[in-house]
Structure 1
């Protein structure tokens, strides 16, 4: 048997390839939309990707399931659990719909299906047994967004991101029951989750890429609860705010997306810039001069996690960036279901558009008469609850485009996050909304606390 884990750091997302080395057949599990890595691995190892499957309809990235059928000719296997609201649409006729107890055979490797609802109603997990290796015992379980290292999948995404009322409590109840199914499996069973630290699909995911069921039973908080009500209360409290693009992902992953294909993106400096404008320069460069209306999301490893809060899927996009990033940006945006990048304005030619700037203030200067200043805290709710300035109003940075801002536009407002990264994004969003009298607090709440000592 062959096994490989693929980890996308930008999305904190994990996918897998399993192959039978005797028959050279391979399956990919929870594939992301850009399939290059799977093809490269299969070609290098001499495998043919004959099958593809996923654990559930994903909310945090664009699935590559249907593209696996188009590109590799792979046969698809998808969940048939859950009600009519959670059925896959627009999949090939030969797609196999799975129920608990079904088995996928990849040569002499078997994946047995168990229904593990809670994160979503249709969620399934796959228990792997290497029959070709002579084993009668299962080796591991692909848990998707059911069980993570150190955590469990959140049950509130359907309600928070897709506005499906009442689904949080239903999901939490189902999750408690799904956990009990793991009592039937040995402690040596490896746990292969769908996400790692940084994902918004749970609240305390571990950074270790895999685990063992016995280890999780001793160390993962979710196994400490025998009382269902206490478990539900803990599971549903203090979950991070889900990025706004999650609702879009649920829709497109259920219905399907066009095949991803690389395009030639226009590069230039036209008089009119099409659609929404993202400025990918550093916050330090942006602060000194920018086009009002541009959203500043620096291009780094957290780019997608931040950009997903701000993208309008109904508009084309212009970016201010290095044109050499064209292919990388297309792949990045494709991974969250956005295929409408229209123009790249080279960073070193963008100054002609700049008509605005903003100010920073050192935390030591801010703390002088701080109680008399209007403050907007743009951290997460959990961070805000852990400690905040008494006079601060709170709006999560990712919700500034849509939520009412609790200040007048003419009022002088001081903006902060935890360390100064998200507040810089917030400054660009607020500027775009017409808040011109705003000042960014360097080093954020951490700097303020240090200055107050």
Structure 2
């Protein structure tokens, strides 16, 4: 008997391989899904069922691809705007045998209309569920977001409340297996650990402490979430079924001359923020490899072409994997060698960094001036901004600069700040790629400001 979690870094996506008696099922597979076949075969199992908890917004499902590879049946929930063309619809109470195991369907709408949870039973010990695959309804330390149907905000928040009661009714002994862990855009309060039980969540999960349905609805309606543009692409692909990923998950190597003459829509520098600010190719944007999953979907459009600029080949491979999992496949190639290029006389740009003392001096000089040519631009999210803000600063969330950069004056001087400086570098790099030359970054940002004002 096997139950293995497969984690997708960056997206903090959790999928599962469960097997018994020569059969196996996969829950919520990712797009690059050969890993499930390899693990199943290594355990002597045949994948016969693929269960989707819901239509994902933050990644491309690998269900159709995996079904083509294995002949397995894909199962998906009802109540979608249109049927999932590659899946069979299952409903509350439907059961499926996987060897000695039994998987029972629970309809759990709220996060999405089609959302399902799957209760896992061991038929040799059938008294109560061993575990439950909770999708994006229940996380470790949090519950799912309910902002995908803005015209029905109260209704879907209430549906999620009711769905959570159905999961809780499985009993405190049930182990929970969510579809995401900490760092996912699908929830903001998840615990760092990825193991828990229904009983532990009942006692410790702040959202499950809210036993008044109306209070829960009010709380969920008041939450602030961002929806990057690529969510619409993910929704469409996950209705139709995404295509198989590229067979080789490494970008083609580009020479310096090829880089200089390419016509890619985006030059994306995936090195660490300090490396980017120290020297980067003109008009390249900063998107550190560890931040690709969070922010690529804000700045890259469907079908747009990219060149990746990295510190080493492994960085290129990791970045390509992150991009492919959200359907950004049009990668012309990758380049490694910024420092040697500079040594050959290649023009480089730098992004200056300033410290707290300089920020304070500029704020003092700016105070009361209506015609100031300098702005401290805070690119943190709205919740962070509401908690602590520097007086005199202005706010645009980093992702929303994808469009709102047009509101800014290229002749104006902007200092970008966030929590530590990482997102500020992404924001500064995006503005630089749009032709803004008079920008710098507050090194340490809010962390440094708080340290200097304790």
Q: TM-score, normalised by structure 1?
A: 0.91
Sort the Cα spacing of 1:214 and 1:420 in 2 relative to 1 into closer, same or farther, 3 A: same
After superposition, residues 285-434 of structure 1 pair within 5 angstroms as 285-300=275-290, 302-321=291-310, 322-325=312-315, 327-348=317-338, 350-351=341-342, 354-371=347-364, 372=366, 373-404=374-405, 407-434=408-435
Aligned-pair CA distance for 1:66:
0.7
Deviation per residue, 1:250-287 (Å, 9 max, x gap): 11111111112324743223223423211112222222
Deviates more, 1:117-126 or 1:352-361: 352-361
**What's the counterpart of residue 231 of structure 1?**
216
Cα RMSD (Å) = 2.1
Consecutive unaligned residues of structure 1, counting only runs of 5 or more, are 160-164
Aligned 1:19-418 pairs, distance under 5 A: 19-20=19-20, 23-79=21-77, 81-83=78-80, 85-89=81-85, 91=86, 95-131=87-123, 133-156=124-147, 158-159=148-149, 165-263=150-248, 265-268=251-254, 269=256, 270=258, 271-300=261-290, 302-321=291-310, 322-325=312-315, 327-348=317-338, 350-351=341-342, 354-371=347-364, 372=366, 373-404=374-405, 407-418=408-419
Contact kept, 8 Å, 2:32 with 2:244, in 1: the verdict is: no
Structure 2 CA distance for aligned equivalents of residues 354 and 105 of structure 1: 63
What displacement does 1:73 show?
2.1
**Higher mean C-alpha displacement, 186-195 vs 241-250:** 241-250
Per the alignment, do residues 421 and 310 of structure 1 end up closer, same or farther by CA in structure 2, a change over 3 Å counting? same
SS of the equivalent of 1:402 reads helix
Distance 1:407 1:71, change over 3 A: same
CA distance in 2, matches of 1:370, 1:200: 33
Gaps of 5+ in 2: 367-373
* Distance in 2 separating the partners of 1:429 and 1:330: 19
Q: Is the 8 A contact 2:359 2:442 kept in 1?
A: yes
Moved over 6 A (4+): none
Deviations 1:277-330 (A, max 9, x none): 111122222223323332211223x43223233222221211112345554443
Deviation at 1:353, TM superposition (A): 5.8
Task: Look up the SS of the partner of 1:400 in the other structure.
Answer: helix
On the 8 A contact 2:289/2:319 being kept in 1, the answer is no
Question: C-alpha distance in 2, partners of 1:292/1:366?
Answer: 26
Which stretch shows the higher mean deviation, 280-289 or 59-68? 280-289
Task: Find the aligned partners of 2:235 and 2:359 in 1 and give their Cα distance.
Answer: 42
Structure 1 residues 37 and 279: CA distance shift in structure 2, 3 A: same
Distance 1:113 1:350, change over 3 A: farther
Shift of 1:431: 1.4
Partners of 1:224 and 1:323 in 2: CA distance: 47
Matched residues in 2 for 1:282 and 1:208: separation? 26
Q: What secondary structure does 1:440 align onto? A: strand
Deviations, residues 87-129 of structure 1 (Å, cap 9, x unaligned): 212x1xxx43201111122123111101000000000010111
Tell whether the 8 Å contact from 1:262 to 1:327 is kept in structure 2 after alignment: no
Name the SS of the counterpart of 1:4 in structure 2: strand
